[in-house]
Amino acid sequence: MKNNAKSERLELRLSLAEKQKLEQCAKRCGVSVSSYVKGCCMNKAPRVKPPDEFWLLLDRVYTLFETAPPETQTEIEQMILKLQELM
C-alpha cells in the first residue's frame, strides 16, 4: 500500500507579478494555488473553468438544436463537439 501522507513542504520566492499571475491562473481553473502547482508539475495541469455565460450560451444552443431541421442539427452537433474539445 502506498503512503500518500503529505509531509513535505516546498517554499519558493516569486515576484509580486509572478505570484499574482499564479493566483489568477489557479482561480480561473477553480482550484487552490497548491493544487494548481501540483497539477502542473505532474503533467495534469488544471483546465480553465468556463464562465457561467458559457453554460448559458450552451443551453441556448441546445434549445435551437431541438427545433432545427436534421441537416442543421448535424452542423450544430459538430460545433458543440469542437467547443467541448477546446474546453
User: H-type helices in the chain, by residue range?
Assistant: 16-29, 33-41, 52-67, 70-86
Question: CA 77 to CA 69: how far, in whole Å?
Answer: 12
According to DSSP, residue 51 is labeled P
What's the average model confidence in pLDDT over 14-34? Answer: 94
Domain ranges within the chain, ordered by starting residue: 14-49, 52-86
Percent residues over pLDDT 70 in the chain = 95
Do residues 59 and 47 make contact, with C-beta atoms less than 8 angstroms apart? no
* pLDDT beyond 70 at 87: no
Is the pTM above the cut of 0.95? no
